[in-house]
């Protein structure tokens, strides 16, 4: 690990100031992705700004027609939250499917979004449920947040402070996980919100993506049968030891149907 300065601010304002004054500062949330990457010297930071002392970021709440949580909401808290289970059970299911208990106890939904791992579950949750990323300076729509493999549209030093989700009428999550890492080989979040249907896929390409043909079919008829005959193209799908593009394209179809069935209860 390269040497770094460690900071533990107690407010967002203090964290922003620390990041602004550093040539190469990074936030630390659960550390589940950042610390191993730093240990392998694949990432470095002159200053590590630990968000864990900022109490205002640790919350999950229902706020009118939205479910909102802070940057320190951990996977286990989202999975176990009565508010999440009641308003968006598919999001609780997604959080419960992340990694193992150790990862869920430390890792945060927002940290996962910021890391933008192509096999992570949270990006599909954000895009499928049409969430909004709240930062220290703006609101970023789900479709504008990711910028490819491990890339987001966050600016240097910008801090994600939370996420807001509209409450869907129906939503379902289905994941085909790598049995060793629990990361997705292909996973799908399907949601119907205010008449709009979204189908967001993770694990299958370099970044989360939507499937417009499925969305159009489900908007007309929200049932698994509506997806019969829709072939997902294998172009640009990941090709690794866990599955080739054709296998992944097939999995997306199967997971999408399962997600719809889950959404239908
Ligand atoms: C063994 C293992 C299995 C896993 N399995 C899965 C899985 O099945 N599914 C899955 O989705 N994930 C999985 N993960 C990843 C896990 O979900 C992590 O929690 C997540 O990727 C990162 O969250 P974190 O809070 O630990 O972030 P950190 O590691 O602390 O940070 C990750 C990156 O985000 C930045 N960052 C963090 N928070 C903020 C913020 N608020 N504002 C701006 N930047 C920020 C950091 O600077 C860093 O670049 C796994 C990880 C491990 C180690």
Q: Which atom of ligand 1 is nearest to the CA of 122?
A: 11
Q: Is 263 in the pocket of ligand 1 (CB under 6 A)?
A: no
pLDDT in tens, 45-86: 999 999 999 999 999 999 999 999 999 999 999 999 999 999
For residue 194, the CA-to-ligand 1 centroid distance in Å is 30
Domain ranges of the chain: 1-53, 58-263
Q: Is 123 in the pocket of ligand 1 (CB under 6 A)?
A: no
What confidence score (pLDDT) does residue 2 get?
92
Q: Is 202 in the pocket of ligand 1 (CB under 6 A)?
A: no
pLDDT in tens, 107-142: 999 999 999 999 999 999 999 999 999 999 999 999
Report percent pLDDT > 90 for the chain. 96
> Which pTM value belongs to this model?
0.96
**Whose alpha carbon is nearest atom 16 of ligand 1?**
107
pLDDT-derived band at 30, boundaries 50, 70, 90: very high
What confidence score (pLDDT) does residue 134 get?
98
Q: Is 120 in the pocket of ligand 1 (CB under 6 A)?
A: yes
For residue 229, the CA-to-ligand 1 centroid distance in Å is 36
For residue 99, the CA-to-ligand 1 centroid distance in Å is 11
The H or E element spanning position 67 is strand 66-70
* Cα 140 to Cα 122: distance, rounded to the nearest angstrom: 15
Q: Is 47 in the pocket of ligand 1 (CB under 6 A)?
A: no
What confidence score (pLDDT) does residue 228 get?
96
Taking the CA atoms of 27, 106, 109 and 202 in sequence, report the sign of the dihedral they define: positive
Q: Which listed CATH number (3.40.50.300, 3.30.43.10, 3.30.2090.10, 3.40.50.2020) goes with 1-53? A: 3.30.43.10
User: What is the best residue among 9, 15, 27 to mutate for testing ligand 1's pocket, by most ligand atoms within 8 Å of CB?
Assistant: 27
Q: Is the pLDDT of residue 195 over 90?
A: no
What would the mean pLDDT of 9-35 be, rounded to a whole number?
Answer: 96
**Can you name the CATH fold of 58-263?**
3.30.465
User: What is the best residue among 49, 72, 107 to mutate for testing ligand 1's pocket, by most ligand atoms within 8 Å of CB?
Assistant: 107
Q: Is 214 in the pocket of ligand 1 (CB under 6 A)?
A: no
Q: Which atom of ligand 1 is nearest to the CA of 34?
A: 29
**Buried b or exposed e, range 126-145, using 16+ CB within 10 angstroms:** bbbbbbbbbbeeeebebeeb
For residue 32, the CA-to-ligand 1 centroid distance in Å is 5
Q: Is 157 in the pocket of ligand 1 (CB under 6 A)?
A: no
Tell me the H-state helices in the chain: 12-20, 34-39, 75-80, 82-87, 89-96, 101-106, 109-115, 122-128, 212-220, 245-263
Nearest to 36 by CA among 99, 125, 126: 99
């Amino acid at each position: 690990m390269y040497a770094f300065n460690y900071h533990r601010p107690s407010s967002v304002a203090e964290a922003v100031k620390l990041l602004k004054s550093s040539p190469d500062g990074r936030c630390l949330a659960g550390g589940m992705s950042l610390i191993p990457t730093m240990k392998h010297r694949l990432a470095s930071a002159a200053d590590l700004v630990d968000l864990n002392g900022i109490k205002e970021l640790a919350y999950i709440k229902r706020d009118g027609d939205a479910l909102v949580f802070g940057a320190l909401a951990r996977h286990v808290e989202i999975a176990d939250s009565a508010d999440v289970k009641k308003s968006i059970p598919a999001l609780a299911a997604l959080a419960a499917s992340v990694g193992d208990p150790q990862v869920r106890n430390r890792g945060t939904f927002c940290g996962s979004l910021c890391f933008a791992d192509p096999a992570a579950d949270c990006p599909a949750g954000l895009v499928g449920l049409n969430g909004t990323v709240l930062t220290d300076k703006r609101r970023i729509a789900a479709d504008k947040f990711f910028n490819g493999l491990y890339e987001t549209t966050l600016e240097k030093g910008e801090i994600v402070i939370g996420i807001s989700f509209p409450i869907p009428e129906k939503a379902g999550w289905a994941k085909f996980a790598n049995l060793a890492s629990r990361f997705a080989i292909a996973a799908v979040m399907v949601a119907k919100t205010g008449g709009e249907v979204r189908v967001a896929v993770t694990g299958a390409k370099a970044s989360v993506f939507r499937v417009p043909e499925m969305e159009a079919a489900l908007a007309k008829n929200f049932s698994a049968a509506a997806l019969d005959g829709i072939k997902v193209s294998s172009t640009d799908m990941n090709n690794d030891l866990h599955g080739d593009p054709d296998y992944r394209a097939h999995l997306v179809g199967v997971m999408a149907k399962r997600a719809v069935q889950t959404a239908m209860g």
